[in-house]
Structure 1
Amino acid sequence: MYQIEFQLADQRLSGLASFSSERPIENKAQLSAVLTQKPVMVMLHGWQDNAASFAPLFGKLSERFHIIAIDWPGHGLSTSRSADNFYHFVDYVDDLAQLVALLDQPQVTLVGHSMGALVAVCFAAAFGDKVDSLMLIEGLAPLSETAESTPDRLRQGIVSRQRYRARAQQRQNRSMDSFQQALDLRCAVNGLMPEQIKPVVARAVLQRDGRWYWRHDNRLRCDSLYRMAHEQSRALVASVQCPVLSIIGETGYRKLKREQPDAQGWQQLEQIEVAGGHHCHLQSPERVADEILLFNSNFNALV
């Protein structure tokens, strides 16, 4: 794996790639001689994870794809959003659109985990001509709620920002004694073994003056000011025309399991279950990689 950087209009996205290139990528021409022979796969991580969450999948998948796994803004080694901004969900779709434009490929394959899966669905709905298939790990339709929930959602979001501003200085100074403490915290929160989450934690922390700090932007923890209505989420799902593979963990989010996926509005959706929980791609990376390759081979055989 190689470090990679992309310069967007207002952000610098860092990430990992299966190929080496000059940094940062600022225009289409820089990758034109690199992204040949194989299709391009873009990997999109979940909330407060980073590109390293896909590291266990690189080995097998890079034999068939050029792989790019990004750190979302405010995550990993990417820059944070400007001081007058927060992390609106739809802005991640814009980030992805800028990245895909820089790649300058006819189409890309998108692999998303959790929040990254939801962003991938929205992008595929809006720019279907740029996506040949979706691989969604523990994530499906964009989060939605009833329209009647809007006032409460707005209030909760504003209050969370007020709370963030009041605690900003204190939170910036929070630190840990060691890398092991950071690793133990993530293991406890995510129910993972140290060896499974260690690469993610290594990319998520920095050491300064003998202390360890999380890199992620604390504004990520602020609640959204709004959430889509159910009708909007269903409209996006119904607009996704490419083949979709849904991968869920045996002990992951049960609400993701679809007994009748067609009833949810998906045009082409196949769902499989693998060992593990919400981070099943870290717990069963070989199986997840195999299922992605099999799905890709099957739908390509039909084209």
Structure 2
Amino acid sequence: MLQALKSVRHLQSIAMKHAVSELCVPVPWGELRGKVWGPDHGRPVLCLHGWADNCGTFNSLIPLLPKECRYVAVDLAGHGLSSHRSPGVFYSFPAYVMDVRRVVDALQWSKFSIIGHSMGGNVAGMFSSLYPEMVDAVVLLDSYGFFPTDKKEMLKVMRQGMDQMVQFEKMTEDKKRRVYTYENAVERLMAANPTLSERSVHILLERGLVQVEGGVMFTRDLRINLKNITRISLEQSLELQSGIQASVLVILAEDGFEKMFSEPEQKKFTSAILQAYRDRNHAVVTVPGDHHVHLNDPKAVAPLVSDFLQTKVLTQPARQTAEQTSKL
């Protein structure tokens, strides 16, 4: 056990060497945590991780991106080191969007870019459509920006989510707070995410575990596993997408979502969303790799992201004063 905890600390020291500081934003139920890279007055870029991950997902990528930017990667509520939502509360995309609004308000950012992986990309898409004047560029890493649900399935999904919450609230604390050795936690995360490299697993566990008596526990809130009861249709997704004013770069992984959502009904939704990006002159590219290619093999996506930020952000005049870029 002692050796396992030493491994956690050693990995933390390696991955944190590029980080400028730790982020902490007070919220009504606790705090949202994160990490910050780059100069104080660099062009602001918000980085949003995927479901069940944490902001460590950007540890490998950000050091390869333009140094002129200020990167703030956030642990979304219920993930990483951020507080869990209050008892009885669901996790939903609108709630995550509200969390982003709280973070950028605390940072005093009036104009910024977003890099979002998977679920984080969906949060980025919704935020960019609700607050188009605040976002100048969006990078979607193996994400479509929106995740539509067939209208015929919505009631069933909502009911499933509510029933799952009822059952969750009946669980004993022992079942909610399972203790592992560090080695068993590694095995569990690798089994649940077979596309993650072992190195990537260790990176995610830096913020994904907490030391407790007898071992370690996963920090994420088990309620994130419940069905998301807030759904939107394809038509609603396309309407929201049409409100985005930012430049968008969609980077899909060959063995990522395009492979996972390959059924005809699923392809109907994803193809419509991707074509709508193309019709608005946004970029859609595919790279070799899997769903976590940005973490497993960051060099496969870093040149694309860097060129996009250079072209769409860094060559454009800043829209806010240095005093507005960050309070950190």
TM-score (norm 1): 0.87
Q: Say whether the 8 Å CA contact 1:43–1:112 is kept in structure 2.
A: yes
Pair 1:293-2:295 in alignment: no
Note the C-alpha offset of 1:179. Answer: 1.0
Q: Deviations over 1:199-237 (max 9, x none)?
A: 111210112122221111111111122411222111111
Match of 1:211? 215
Aligned to 1:96: 100
Residue of structure 1 aligned with 2:251, choices 247, 253, 263: 247
Question: What's the CA shift string for 1:54-101, capped at 9, x where partnerless?
Answer: 000221226121111010111111111111312122100011011112
Q: Structure 1 residues 78, 266: CA separation in 2 closer, same or farther (over 3 Å shift)?
A: farther
Q: Would you say the 8 A contact 1:246–1:271 is kept in 2?
A: yes
2:323 aligned partner: none
Residue 280 of structure 1: aligned partner: 293
Verify the 8 A CA contact 1:118 1:142 in the aligned structure 2.
Answer: yes
The one of 81, 84, 92 equivalent to 1:80 is 84
CA distance in 2, matches of 1:8, 1:149: 33
1:23-172 aligned at under 5 Å gives the runs 35-36=40-41, 38-61=42-65, 63-172=67-176
Judge which range, 120-129 or 209-218, deviates more.
Answer: 209-218
Give the drift of 1:9. Answer: 4.2
Residue 147 (structure 1) shift:
2.6
SS at match of 2:242: helix
Please list the CA deviations of residues 138-176 of structure 1 after superposition, one character each: whole Å capped at 9, or x if unmatched. Answer: 111422223332321222111211221222424223221
Cα distance in 2 between the residues matched to 1:57 and 1:189: 22
SS at match of 2:210: strand
Q: Between Structure 1 and Structure 2, how many residues are aligned?
A: 287
How far apart, in 2, do the equivalents of 1:111 and 1:266 lie? Answer: 21
SS of 1:228's partner is coil
**Structure 2 runs not aligned, ≥5 long:** 1-18, 262-266, 318-328
Stretches of structure 1 that go unaligned for 5 or more consecutive residues are: 20-33
* Cα distance in structure 2, aligned partners of 1:225 and 1:66: 34
Structure 1 position 264, deviation (Å): 5.8
CA drift of 1:190 comes to 1.6
Structure 1 residues 194, 274: CA separation in 2 closer, same or farther (over 3 Å shift)?
same
2:115–2:140: 8 Å Cα contact kept in structure 1?
A: yes
With over 3 angstroms needed to count, the CA separation of the structure-2 counterparts of 1:302 and 1:14, relative to structure 1, is: closer
Q: In 2, distance between residues paired with 1:95 and 1:228? A: 19
Aligned partners of 2:77 and 2:172: how far apart in 1? 19
Structure with the greater relative contact order (CA < 8 A, sep ≥ 6): 1 or 2?
A: 2
Counterpart code for 1:249: A
The equivalent of 2:35 in structure 1 is: 16
Specify whether residues 62 and 294 from structure 1 end up closer, same or farther in structure 2 by C-alpha distance, changes over 3 A only.
closer
Q: Report the secondary structure of 1:145's partner residue.
A: coil
Counterpart contact for 1:18–1:62, Cα < 8 Å: no
**Structure 2: distance between partners of 1:242 and 1:150:** 30
Shift of 1:263: 3.9
Give, in whole Å, the separation in 2 of the partners of 1:199 and 1:62: 22
Q: Percent identity?
A: 26
Matches within 5 A, 1:214-233: 214-233=218-237
Residues 68 and 226 (structure 1), Cα distance of their counterparts in 2 relative to 1, 3 Å cut: closer
Q: Work out the CA distance in 2 between the residues paired with 1:6 and 1:302.
A: 29
1:3 aligns with 2:22: yes
User: Would you say 1:186 and 2:189 are equivalent positions?
Assistant: yes
Structure 1 distance, partners of 2:272, 2:94, is 29
What RMSD over aligned residues (CA atoms) do the two structures have, in Å?
Answer: 2.2
